[in-house]
Chains A and B, each alone.
Chain A
């Protein structure tokens, strides 16, 4: 077992982990931050995406010990301090960009990383950026629409109801 220390959602945390303890396990089981989800075992589905030192990372494909000294942000850390939703989260709600909610934390974290890099992405850029986030419920239509809306682009032309 080793000691590990990192900052999670702005708070310093320390813990004891094994070498094999995944960052996702540490977040979910030790810190009880269960918003980061496990949807696969081949590092493809993206339900576990968090930010480590500002970069989107699959928490299930990184060891907790590798996050030593890092700034980690999970879905729980994405809202405003007063509890209100950020622009991305609100856009997902406004445009029905989620159904069962299981892929949603990873989608929001990936969307946030995208908009950091590319403030006004095109439809094609969004779809390409979501290659590592699988959703089985929405067919992606409203997710792409939500991300475009969150970036301040006009989505009125996109077919909806």
Chain B
């Protein structure tokens, strides 16, 4: 019988009731008395010198209360890069300033150079149109290869180059890897593109600021995945408002996928404006603005080589990547293509040699940063495409070639050739599970049926491993991170026994209001309904780094466990006093503190009440109250892994690819709420399939975003996708966090693109088009048709 509460159960989500009845409270739902509206004037050119901005007409227009330009922020700090990367030659990375509003130059279409605050949004928009900006358009640099050439137009003139850094990993392994490839009996080389994506959370970004002139307190309501991080960045680096005078509140947030991790200039602007005019300032992005200015994802161009023996044993992987960072460094732009990408380049494999080179490039496009998977989809895609190609070249079954190279269960903990210590895993079991799920034997018959209908059918497979549960602060600090990546929780037991758990993670779809109480209730043996979380408000929660990187349960959940353990320990002290026993004799099970070997016990609720009515308390030994905080810094990343399979039909006359079935076998270690975990995988699969087949972020040569709305950027719809078959019963619990969880939020998006592309190639090969060895994502009908007919 499956449990219906506690760890491992799937209770229905509490947050659903308000979402299903229209009572969610998202940032744009908040209306403050006296609120005003901000509208930004944004560059229509990708690269330009601002020679003058005349705001005089705008300032006089009806309803206008203030107009800001970059001039107003010259003495204010820029939005900082959160991770220092050094180039191979030891040079630190280039860090040009990213101002609140563009100053001196505009560097991408959509770059905001002015802002108008007015009584209504339409009045602000009218006034923004009346701002006269003289912008001397310069040639734009959009293609990374072109950006790196001598004499290319510069995105940031003051750094003299468009290269942010040239990074190698692991530098000490470079010579051995080169030598191994030179000697290898077989080398497969593949050049591929990991296409730029626009995250497109369904809720556009929004920020509303309020300033209380009586107390000097600022409040920022904003669509953020991590309010404390946002507050830290604004306080320490940008506006300098002391943290204790700035409350950041992320209410209900409608999706993020990484795009809402970062601090954006609009947040600083509305705060400064609220201070200046003494009234709340509200801003909500239109979808068009989101397309132009939300941090984009991916955008790598890679050359990967796989050297192996003739029997398919891997000898080496070597990659050269150009990674686009866009016009400005966003907070984690430098970490995503390096320590979240290069470090995964050994994959699930015991390959002895790995060397990764990444050059990051400024271009006149929107900033690029982490998006669901953040570096791991890029690594997985490169590996699993070149492996598929090598398998085809060598005539080896694609699952067999992977099996023979897996790190074996008895080799853990295993330090990969890319430097990460994988704690535990069983990749063979995942492939076994996948084979059970996909009816591989029936494939040929299905292929014949498709052919009868004029369609080609293909089966693509891949495996993946990823590093998440981000991250051990000591390790990442050494590697250049400028922040720690711990998280925190305060468990506050109230006198009448109900519990508030203040967490540093911030749910934007992941169901924390349901999952975290499962953990606490399970540990305390109490009713889940008596536990509620508090999240999203910096004035109420301890400092956590937020929700991304599949870390909420692995890191914040571990903090919740540690804090709950402290509650139990204090409870034991109180119980010992109540039961007149020594603390060492107190046991705690199923909500009861009892004296070992006796039937003397006292319930959790009674202990809670006692803590707050501490009459005859041994105050020298134990304080009143029952509230504990824990900060948890993980010992290592966690390492989910999986095996995926995709079956497609291809219409050779039109090039259209239809996903017929998709199976995902994942190892997430222990799982708290299986229903929520499956949902996370479903969503990730949809995004990965979207990347593989549909989502085509395109800038033209002048830096205009051609795919700037849903009319041209193909979001996956229900009729683009099938039901998925997902399984997470293969569980090798994480060895280093108290819950044994590995995290699941990104796996679907990491693992899925390779099997989709592998499947299409398989279909084309079977259909007589073996000349097609690779097609770059997205595999739109036009691209597939062109490949067939090339």
Interface residues of A (CB under 8 A from B): 20, 28-29, 32-42, 44-45, 47, 74-76, 78-79, 85, 89, 92-94, 96, 98-105, 108, 123-124, 126-128, 130-131, 133-145, 158-161
Question: Contacts A40-B709, A41-B709, A85-B21 given; 20 further ones with Cβ under 8 A?
Answer: A34-B22, A35-B21, A45-B287, A75-B21, A75-B22, A99-B511, A101-B15, A102-B26, A103-B202, A105-B22, A130-B717, A130-B718, A131-B717, A133-B718, A134-B717, A136-B683, A137-B202, A139-B683, A143-B718, A159-B724
Contact A136 B252 (CB under 8 A): no
Give CA–CA (A105, B203) in the complex, Å.
13
Asked if B719 and A100 sit within 8 Å, CB to CB, the answer is no
Distance to closest chain B CB from A42 (angstroms): 5
Name the segment of B151-159, B347-355, B674-682 touching the other chain.
B674-682
CB of A42 within 8 A of CB of B710, answer yes
Among the 9-residue stretches B110-118, B253-261, B579-587, the one with 4 or more Cβ atoms under 8 Å from chain A is: B253-261
A134 CB to nearest B CB, Å: 5
Assuming the A-B contacts A134-B710, A139-B683, are A98 and B723 also in contact, with contact meaning beta carbons closer than 8 angstroms in the complex?
no
Min CB distance, B9 to chain A, in Å? 11
Q: A133 vs B284: C-alpha distance in the bound complex, in angstroms?
A: 21
Residues in chain B near residue A79, CB distance under 8 A = 21
Interface residues on B, range: 35 or more
Residue among A37, A42, A85, A161 with most chain B CB within 10 A: A161
16 contacts between A and B (CB under 8 A): A28-B29, A35-B22, A37-B254, A39-B202, A75-B22, A89-B21, A92-B16, A94-B12, A96-B13, A102-B255, A136-B255, A140-B721, A141-B721, A159-B724, A161-B677, A161-B678
- Nearest first, the 4 A-B pairs at minimum CB distance are A35-B22, A101-B19, A102-B254, A100-B509
Contact: B24 with A101, CB < 8 Å?
Answer: yes
Q: If A92-B16, A103-B202 touch, does A136 touch B257 (CB 8 Å cutoff)?
A: yes
Given A37-B254, A85-B21, A99-B509; A134-B674 close (CB under 8 Å): no
Please determine whether B509 and A36 come into contact, CB atoms closer than 8 angstroms: no
Taking the complex as formed, is B510 at the interface, i.e. its CB lies under 8 A from any CB of chain A? Answer: yes
Question: Within the complex, which residue of A89, A136, A144 is in contact with B202, where a contact is CB–CB below 8 Å?
Answer: A136
Q: Is the CB of A37 within 8 A of B203?
A: yes
Residues of chain B with a CB closer than 8 A to A92's CB: 16, 20
Interchain CB contact under 8 A, A160 and B675: yes
Contact with A along B250-288 (1 / 0, CB 8 A): 001111010000000000000000000000000010111
B254, B257, B716 — which one has the most chain A CB atoms within 10 A of its CB?
Answer: B254
Instruction: Check B20–A136 contact: CB distance below 8 A.
Output: no
List chain B positions with a Cβ less than 8 A from chain A: 10, 12-13, 15-26, 28-29, 31, 122, 199-204, 252-255, 257, 284, 286-288, 508-511, 674-679, 682-687, 709-711, 715-719, 721, 723-726, 748
Instruction: Identify B28's interface contact among A38, A45, A89, A161, CB under 8 A.
Output: A38
A126:B718 contact, CB within 8 angstroms? yes
In the complex with contacts A102-B203, A140-B686, A160-B287 CB distance below 8 A: no
B710 and A44 form a contact (CB under 8 A):
yes
Contact, CB under 8 Å: B201 / A136: yes
A102 touches B710 (CB 8 A): no
Roughly how many angstroms separate A47 CA and B201 CA in the complex, as a whole number? 12
A136–B255 CA distance with the chains assembled, in angstroms: 8
Q: Which of B253, B287, B685 gathers the greatest number of chain A CB atoms within 10 Å?
A: B287
A161 to B724, CA, bound (A): 10
Nearest CB in chain A: distance from B28 CB, A: 7
Chain B CB within 10 A, most for which of A20, A34, A139: A139
Other-chain residue from A29, A45, A47, A127 in contact with B31 (beta carbon distance below 8 A): A29
CA distance A25 to B10 in the complex (A): 38
Give complex CA distance A93, B677 in Å.
15
Query: Using Cβ atoms and an 8 Å threshold, which residues of chain A touch B202?
Result: 37, 39, 45, 47, 100, 102-103, 134-137
Contact assessment for B255 and A100 in the assembled complex, using a CB-CB cutoff below 8 Å? yes
Query: What A residues does B23 contact at CB under 8 A?
Result: 35, 76
**In the assembled complex, which residues on chain A have CB atoms less than 8 Å from the CB atom of B255?**
99-100, 102, 136-137
Decide: B16 and A98 in contact? CB cutoff 8 A.
yes
A37 to B748, CA, bound (A): 27
B22 close to A33 (CB less than 8 A): yes
Contact A98 to B254, CB < 8 A, known contacts A35-B24, A138-B683, A144-B723: no
A161/B10 in contact, CB under 8 A: yes
| Distance from B668 Cβ to chain A, minimum over Cβ atoms (Å) | 12
A107 CB to nearest chain B CB (Å): 10
Q: Which residues of B contact A74 (CB under 8 A)?
A: 22
Q: How far is the CA of A42 from the CA of B396 in the complex (A)?
A: 48
Task: Tell me the smallest distance from the CB of A100 to a CB of chain B, in Å.
Answer: 3
Q: Which residues of A contact B686 (CB under 8 A)?
A: 136, 138-140
CB within 8 Å for A100 and B685 given contacts A134-B715, A141-B723 = no
Name the residue on A nearest B725 (C-beta): A159
Q: Which residues of A contact B675 (CB under 8 A)?
A: 96, 160-161
- Judge whether B719 and A76 touch: CB under 8 Å: no
Contact partner, A159, options B20, B717, B726, Cβ 8 Å? B726
Q: Contacts A136-B687, A141-B682, A159-B724 known; A98 to B717 CB distance under 8 Å? A: no
For residue A85, which residues in chain B have a CB less than 8 angstroms away from its CB? 17, 20-21
* Centre residue among A33, A44, A102 by max chain B CB count within 10 A: A102
Q: A78 vs B269: C-alpha distance in the bound complex, in angstroms? A: 38
Distance in Å: Cβ of B307 to nearest Cβ of chain A: 37
The chain B residue sitting closest to A147, CB to CB, is B718
Q: How far is the CB of B178 from chain A (nearest CB, A)?
A: 42
